[in-house]
Structure 1
Amino acid sequence: MELRHLRYFLMVAEELHFTRAAARLNMQQPPLSNQIRLLEKELGFELFKRHPKGVDLTTGGQVFLQEARAILNRIEEGSKRAARAAQGLEGKLSIGFTSSTAAHPLIPGMIRAYRGLYPNVELLLSEGNAGELTDEVSFGRMDLGILRAPVSQPRGVTLYRLLDEEMLLVLPVGHRLLPAGILVNGLSPEAIDAMPVIALGDLADESFILVRRHGAPGMYANLLEACEHAGFTPKIAFEIERMLTNINLVAAGAGISVVPASMRSFHRHSVVYCRIGEASPPLVAPITLIARTEDQEPTRQNFIELAQELGRQFRREQPPCP
């Protein structure tokens, strides 16, 4: 049985006349009658009662009519959904992000914009560190990752650098390097230009709190290189899993840390965010989208294109990193 047999049957059932049905199908009446006979033979029962003025549906034909319509409707709907999926308008998309990238306004704006453009794509969102997300994407267990740039590009993975974000030093309130009266109404300044500037070389005797190397390999390597260039190897007191924990531990007086500028709203009553001077290479935290190079699924490509465009818009609206 072929789909055309169902369509032939539906046309005859609508017209209750072979000649009129054949005309609507742009075919001759004898071939149409023959196809219906073959269909009846395959089913094992008659679909129509023939009489001189036309045909009527048999009881079996009436039941088969309902099923044939349902089948063709399902096929039509399935074809439409498949076409939408081929354009990235339907389906599923799994995206992982790090806690520090999620704090940047670009990311929630990106998710919101994608949902608005592609409401029938189910987004599966999760959090992890940079190493975990890179592995998940590399092995095909996740579609896309949003993270700080890794040290090197993994094989089979494409990196899309969306923007660079300035890194800030985080010191506990009352730290020896802070100027007096830095708090305003009990809070440290949130505006970048109002923050004190501290030279990286002045931190040689400090204890650092960092996200462990596998969790943020790019930022870890960037900081170590800049410190070495400033003439010292940083003393690392703690390596933890999530960047927000860095700030919590600084607030507790356990050491100092560096975080992306977008995290500067946390704990402003107990820590002070400072700009870092004299760093080479410059301490920046790129926001990077990663995807498997060979994976060209439309849902992924649509998200990548949107992310790149929003990244360009954000760079135009924000001052560049120093």
Structure 2
Amino acid sequence: MELRHLRYFVAVARSGSFTAAAAGLGIQQPPLSQQVRDLEREVGCPLFVRLPRGVALTAGGTVFLEEAEAILARVDGAVRRAGQAAHGTAGTLSVGFTSSAVVHRLSPVLLRGYREANPGVELSVGEGNAASLSEAVAAGQLDMAFIRQPVVERSGLAYHQLANEPLLVALPMGHPVAVKARRAGRGRLKLRDLAADPFILVRRPGAPGMYGDLIEACHAVGFAPRIAAEVGQMLTNVTLVAAGVGVSVVPASMRVVHAGEVFYGIASDAPKLSAPLNLVTRIGSANPTLARFVAFARKRAREVARAGALLQS
């Protein structure tokens, strides 16, 4: 039994006539009649009652019609979905976020926009630090990840920079430096004024880029920071600052976290500290939906950046 037998049978059943079905299928009636007889022999029972004018379904034919239509619908759906997957409009994408990348304003914009444009793609979202997410992408466990900056770019991975933002110094709201800056109505402070303070950082293996940049910035203004605590996630970092455990530096998008308990300021005396937002993917990935997402993300990121520049001009 082949799919054409089912299609021929359904056409005859729905039209009620071999003549009409043959015309609709674009074939001659005798071959169509022979195909249906072959099908009946294989099924083991008559599917039609031949009438003087047309045909009618037998009891077996009625049941077989329901099953045949279901089979053909599933086959047609499978063909359609396979084509969509091949063109990147259906399938699955697994994506990871660092805790600081997930709060960047671009992240929900990209996910929402992509889901609206590609409803056939299922997104699986996870979280981790930059090092673990990069390893997962390299191993094929994730299709892509939104991270900040790697200290060294891994071979086999592609890094697509989507945005960049300043690193801000995070202080408890009651810290003397924060109080002074607030009274002056400024969002700026001097990093060297924090030389005696304990620093809280995301562990070097998890966020090596920002960790190293802060150490270099502190050395540039004349001191080596005293690391009081190293944490696994940026959100924990900010929470400890809010609790008065120490000070830290975080990407500007994190300033929405504990906004009433943490003062966020720019270090005016330090080398310009920045935190790029990168989309990391595996070179040579066979997932066609990934290429479509990367193209969408790069285009949408440029649009968001232009809109932001216009608002600031």
* Residue 152 (structure 1) aligns with: 152
CA distance in 2, matches of 1:216, 1:61: 66
Structure 2: give runs of 5+ residues left out of the alignment: none
Change (3 A) 1:236 1:50: same
The residue aligned with 2:246 is 255
Q: 2:257 aligned to 250, 254, 266, which one?
A: 266
Instruction: Verify the 8 A CA contact 1:166 1:261 in the aligned structure 2.
Output: yes
Contact 1:160–1:288 (CA under 8 A) maintained in structure 2: yes
Equivalent in 174, 195, 198 of residue 187 of structure 2 = 195
Q: 1:181: Cα distance to partner? A: 6.4
What do the CA deviations read for 1:278-310 (whole angstroms, capped 9, x no partner)?
434x31111111122222534323322222123
* Partner-residue secondary structure (3-state), 1:30: helix
Distance in 2 separating the partners of 1:309 and 1:298: 17
Q: CA RMSD in A?
A: 2.8
Structure 1 unaligned spans of 5+: none
Q: Please give the TM-score of this superposition, normalised by the length of structure 2.
A: 0.86
Residues 160, 290 of structure 1: 8 Å contact kept: yes
CA distance in 1, matches of 2:284, 2:181: 55
Contact 1:178–1:196 (8 Å) recurs in 2: no
* Residue 57 (structure 1) shift: 3.0
From the superposition, tell whether residues 55 and 153 of structure 1 become closer, same or farther in structure 2 (CA, over 3 Å).
same
Checking the alignment, whether the CA contact within 8 Å between 2:181 and 2:187 is kept in structure 1 is no
Aligned to 2:102: 102
**Larger relative helix fraction:** 2
Instruction: Return closer, same or farther for 1:37/1:284 CA change in 2, 3 Å cut-off.
Output: same
Q: CA deviation at 1:264?
A: 2.1
1:96-153 CA-partner distances (Å, limit 9, x unpaired): 2111112221112222222322334332222221122112222222222111121122
Q: Give the Cα–Cα distance (whole angstroms) in 2 for the partners of residues 178 and 267 of structure 1.
A: 15
Q: For residue 314 of structure 1, what is the aligned residue in structure 2?
A: 304
Contact conserved, 2:11 with 2:21, CA < 8 A, in 1?
Answer: yes
1:302 to 289, 292, 295: 292
The 2-side partners of 1:310 and 1:47 are apart by 57
1:237 equivalent to 2:228? Answer yes
**Candidates 260, 266, 279, aligned match of 1:275:** 266
Shift of 1:177: 4.5
Paired letter, 1:216: A
- Superposed, 1:1-322 pairs within 5 Å as 1-50=1-50, 53-173=53-173, 175=175, 177=177, 180=180, 182-183=182-183, 194-198=186-190, 200-280=191-271, 282-318=272-308
Is the alpha carbon distance of 1:266 and 1:7 closer, same or farther for their aligned partners in structure 2, counting shifts above 3 Å? closer
Cα distance change of structure 1 residues 40 and 276 upon mapping to structure 2, 3 Å threshold: same
Letter aligned with residue 207 of structure 1: P
CA distance in 2, matches of 1:117, 1:10: 35
Question: Which deviations, in whole Å up to 9, do the C-alpha atoms of 1:200-247 show, x marking residues without a partner?
Answer: 455444432100012212211222333344454332111111222223
User: How many positions carry a matched residue from both structures?
Assistant: 310
| Separation in 2, partners of 1:261, 1:130 | 17
* Cα pair distance change 1:218/1:180, threshold 3 Å: closer
Q: Which amino acid aligns with 2:206?
A: G
Q: Which moved more, 1:151-160 or 1:84-93?
A: 84-93
Percent identical: 48
3-state DSSP of counterpart to 1:45:
coil
- Tell me if structure 2 keeps the 8 A contact 1:129–1:216: yes
CA contact (8 A) 1:96 1:144 kept: yes
CA distance in structure 1 between the partners assigned to 2:50 and 2:35 by the alignment: 15
Residues 149, 210 of structure 2: 8 Å contact kept: yes
Provide the TM-score with structure 1 as the length reference. Answer: 0.84
